[in-house]
Structure 1
Amino acid sequence: MKLVVHVDGGARGNPGPAAVGVVVSTPEGEVVERRAETIGEATNNVAEYRALLLGLERARALGATEVEVVNDSELVAKQVGGEYRVKHAAMRPLHAAALEALGGFEAWRVRSVPRAQNADADALVNAALDAAT
């Protein structure tokens, strides 16, 4: 079963209070789950990776064998896709965890889109941060 997973992570300040948002849907667009969590103090890039990891966890729990991840972080999409190296040492464990999680699917794709095309996940991040303050 294929699921589409929109993920977003954000921090207010860099680093600062951070949250992640995940919207899981069918390829036809039917939303099957929404999830948002605060993750404490983090950088924006850490929050983006943590959102990816949560999205993959939720897709696996919902029975996905194939996943298309959509985010608005070109950096994360290109690092996971192998186009960019992970230069920052603190990001390497998150990158490795993402590759390990993706390896559990029969097929996967991670792509970045403009923020406007990831609005639902972005709204979840902001709602979680607003609720935490």
Structure 2
Amino acid sequence: MSQPVVAWRLFTDGASRGNPGKAGAGAVLLDSEGRELAARSLYLGECTNNAAEYRALLLGLHAALELGCIQLEIYLDSELIVRQIQGRYKVKHETLKPLFDEVKILLAQIESWSIAHVPREQNKRADQLANRGVDEGSKQ
């Protein structure tokens, strides 16, 4: 008898120092036991905070797919992005539309997923990774 598949958890965060400003993305992927499977940080250059949030989500989704994730719970501290992915808000800003479209393409490759807003305090590791991305890019 096969084991039931348990969802992994993805926490993502974007950081922009200034809006727009130097930005970074962070993502951490945890297994069902809370063990860290992947931690990613990326310098994004100049962009808005909302674009950084989308890029962080993309960073995390790529990591999840690379590791063969089929069930995923996604957590962000950006209510705007969560509600846009849920279809509750329209994506009006032109620079966000292609990022939104790319997220939807990646989500379609995951068997089952959910997305929810979490308070910033529950997203500290992803925030740390996003800020690392900004710091690493600032050194270049």
Identify the TM-score tier after normalising by the shorter chain.
over 0.9
What is the aligned-residue identity percentage? Answer: 43
Aligned to 2:113: 108
1:89 to 84, 94, 101: 94
Q: CA deviation at 1:129?
A: 1.7
Q: Which runs of 4+ in 1 moved over 6 A?
A: none
Q: Which moved more, 1:38-47 or 1:24-33?
A: 24-33
> Counterpart of 1:100 in structure 2: which amino acid?
I
Q: What whole-Å deviation, never above 9, does each CA across 1:69-98 have from its counterpart, x for those lacking one? A: 111100000000001111112211111111
Aligned to 1:43: 48
> Counterpart of 1:61 in structure 2: which amino acid?
E
Instruction: Give the aligned length.
Output: 133
SS at match of 1:121: helix
Aligned to 1:20: 25
Q: CA deviation at 1:33?
A: 1.2
Q: TM-score under structure 1 normalisation? A: 0.95
Q: What whole-Å deviation, never above 9, does each CA across 1:27-51 have from its counterpart, x for those lacking one? A: 2211111110101111000000000
Aligned to 2:129: 124
- Aligned equivalents of 1:112, 1:124: Cα separation in 2: 18
Q: What whole-Å deviation, never above 9, does each CA across 1:86-116 have from its counterpart, x for those lacking one? A: 1112211111111111011110111111110
SS at match of 1:93: helix
Aligned to 2:78: 73
- Aligned equivalents of 1:104, 1:67: Cα separation in 2: 11
In angstroms, what is the RMSD of aligned CA positions? 1.0
Which of 1 and 2 has greater Rg? 2
SS at match of 2:83: helix
> Counterpart of 1:26 in structure 2: which amino acid?
D
- Aligned equivalents of 1:128, 1:98: Cα separation in 2: 20
Where structure 2 has 5 or more consecutive residues not aligned to the other structure, the ranges are none
Q: TM-score under structure 2 normalisation? A: 0.91
Is contact 2:16-2:23 (8 Å) kept?
Answer: yes
